[in-house]
Structure 1
């Protein structure tokens, strides 16, 4: 390894040691690390960004997190700050602090996490987008270039070919030129990207998920430092692009409200977020931010012997452990080196999350659960290893031979059933048809289904058998002997030998014999607006409905892909008129129709469908 690489690595250690990253040694700094030029960030209620913008001496950036709120960063006088702090529309005022790349020293973890077994089984993360929020990614690296997608850089973090003036001395990667604004001028981001997704092309190193699309989100400058608003903007931009996974090998000791806003924004859009726990060890209850945020999977670091790294932060927020000592990966340009730090452990988990998503699990919490359920207990405490050390192959049930006994291969598939209650139909004076649906039927060939029902507000003391089903789908049963003009409640039930389930309680009202309750509800307005991108199908439905009998019950909007429902939103309504808006979104589906359905209390329903 050339001497200049060794010097550069030592510089990075020093930078991380005093930075927000919680680096080896002190792992300090927070908002107090910001200089006067970083200014303040004002978080306000939705639609109120003009308030701080007009009060600012200089505006750096505006951020819009939708219903969560907005934020404005800039320079403010003390008088303006005092006035803003007392304004009821202001949610927070914080210094625009900085975060830094977590400390690194020298990698390997593909084998120990069985990522190679998953890759050999065809689980490579193909079709999934992973954003690396870091110092950038080398735009021409031999083991990364084929996987690179669109990138983004914050203005203050944009690539520099001559890095100087770092607070703790030293500089970045000393690249001769910046090929993109998001090119890596530090080494850190390229190293992280290689661990997550270096291509399986026979050159250099192999990443956990070698066929994902990598996106450089450059929020840290050549010194490995980034401001709160730049980091929040990077999270926001990535979420808006529909990226599936975000890796954040960065952090600090103190929280940031604007970064928290951004994390909420990304979580609301289904992004799986991975964060390095920090390098403040040996310590307890010292996981840094944003890793300790409840929306982020915090990752501690272990070595090749499954021992906890001496530098790794620990605490109750740790969810997984992964290799982070002497991990080999890529650095600019077409070079490689060994670094250590929780910065190196986090991208193992980011690549694994992409592998799980590509395997068919898209819900962010389900991805999180599968990674944790598959982890190997390596004998560390919960605060050190969380659920255990990452096992990629187990997370996707990949086949492969290794030294471990694959006891799970011989276990029987879990048996379970899930049922949903659908609206009653054909409701008359003394009879009705009850409807339900088996939505999941796993590990068994059939389930017994039926309904429980009774007068509204009382126990569901009556039941009716709907037979046996052998697959997922709808079922129904007719009931009679009801009282006219009476409200009833019911729910669908299903049972197998090892499990049972019941749906939510729904209601209907029988006809009172004077002709009311017979008219179908009417869709007065059904407007669909599309805001889709290659990764997300998004539609907004504005609707207005009415019912002559004054007995509206529910309104449902659905996205359809070749007739199958891929997303739905239901609103409970009442009376004779109602209106509202539904936001629908589904990931990587080819939505061709949107359907609106209104149901009244008698079970009468009306549907309309629009092609999109």
Structure 2
């Protein structure tokens, strides 16, 4: 496939330090891309701790929801994690969300104590496949491999779902990428700050695909407000949002020629990402810093 290399490297805007907004939106020139795409027609499954579904940012965004944890609260988010993640991708507030016309499929896989349920995650992955998710965002971490989780992620990949995963916050030691980001069939994302430096506890290793904004990220919070959070959990949805913009753009102007959609996206990222560090430091930065303008224009 061919992706543009003509767009300039984003420049951090010092003024954004004092503005209540998702700083990555302005720093990476996302508003300029909304003339080309807002993610229309793209389904993004956020498999996380649920969502504050009454929040005004999501009332028009959610297409379906399901609780896989048997929570007394149902799909409602108790921890706020899933609400924050979903906001980065698809909030209807232009200061928060990257792709304001996507549809969200919300699967609750993190229980109300904040623990990831692997069986729930597997069930939710197949649910997302069945309901035609184009992108699946997994901002979760598991230290060990689970065969059923790997198989479900691979099935999603074969079905044409792009599975974007948080690399983890188990750094700074090397080879600390967590599951499911460690699987080859996913896109593994680590967090950088406004100065394009790795977050101090960012998980790194040979499985890392790229880095994206994941420090002091402003997004939706319980029950109707906003807050800042950080970590690869916030970097992954930034990438999911950019890919949603790209896929909607692809519908109008197809450029991906590979049979496997995830491979096509990975190729585009490789062709357009901005190199950070030395070439031999791939385990620290993967293919580099995501560059939305080069990917989409």
Using the size of structure 1 for normalisation, the TM-score is 0.42
Do the aligned partners of residues 287 and 221 (structure 1) sit closer, same or farther apart at CA in structure 2, a change above 3 Å counting? same
Deviations 1:427-456 (A, max 9, x none): xxxxxxxxxxxxxxxxxxxxxxxxxxxxxx
User: Would you say the 8 A contact 1:123–1:359 is kept in 2?
Assistant: yes
Q: Say which SS state the counterpart of residue 63 (structure 2) adopts.
A: coil
Structure 1 or 2: larger helix share?
2
1:187 aligns with 2:80: yes
Structure 1, 361-370 or 218-227: larger mean CA deviation? 361-370
**Structure-2 separation of matches of 1:308 and 1:126:** 32
Q: Say which SS state the counterpart of residue 238 (structure 2) adopts.
A: helix
Which consecutive aligned stretches of 4+ in structure 1 deviate over 3 angstroms post-superposition? none
Q: 2:39 aligns with which of 125, 129, 152?
A: 125
Deviations 1:556-577 (A, max 9, x none): xxxxxxxxxxxxxxxxxxxxxx
Please list every run of 5 or more consecutive structure 2 residues that lacks an aligned counterpart in the other structure: 1-21
**Structure-1 separation of matches of 2:121 and 2:230:** 23
Q: 1:367 aligns with which of 265, 284, 288?
A: 265
Q: How does 1:506-517 map to 2 (within 5 A)?
A: none
Q: Which has the larger radius of gyration?
A: 1
User: Would you say the 8 A contact 2:69–2:111 is kept in 1?
Assistant: no
Alignment match, 2:68 = 154
Deviations 1:225-267 (A, max 9, x none): 1221111001111011110000000021111011011112111
Using the size of structure 2 for normalisation, the TM-score is 0.85
**Structure-2 separation of matches of 1:312 and 1:341:** 7
Please list every run of 5 or more consecutive structure 1 residues that lacks an aligned counterpart in the other structure: 1-106, 161-180, 398-612
Q: 1:216 aligns with which of 81, 97, 106?
A: 106
**Structure-1 separation of matches of 2:50 and 2:223:** 13
Q: Say which SS state the counterpart of residue 24 (structure 2) adopts.
A: coil
Alignment match, 1:394 = 294
Q: 1:328 aligns with which of 200, 218, 234?
A: 218
Shift of 1:375: 1.5
User: Would you say the 8 A contact 2:69–2:110 is kept in 1?
Assistant: no
Shift of 1:115: 2.2
Deviations 1:152-189 (A, max 9, x none): 11143x353xxxxxxxxxxxxxxxxxxxx222111000
Structure 1 or 2: larger strand share?
1
**Structure-2 separation of matches of 1:155 and 1:329:** 24
**Structure-1 separation of matches of 2:270 and 2:62:** 28
1:249 aligns with 2:170: no
Q: 2:276 aligns with which of 378, 395, 401?
A: 378
User: Would you say the 8 A contact 1:108–1:328 is kept in 2?
Assistant: yes
Say what the alpha-carbon RMSD is for the aligned residues.
Answer: 1.5
Q: How does 1:521-532 map to 2 (within 5 A)?
A: none
Shift of 1:200: 4.2
Q: Say which SS state the counterpart of residue 273 (structure 1) adopts.
A: strand
Alignment match, 1:237 = 127
Shift of 1:387: 1.1
User: Would you say the 8 A contact 1:115–1:391 is kept in 2?
Assistant: no
Q: How does 1:479-558 map to 2 (within 5 A)?
A: none
Do the aligned partners of residues 215 and 159 (structure 1) sit closer, same or farther apart at CA in structure 2, a change above 3 Å counting? farther
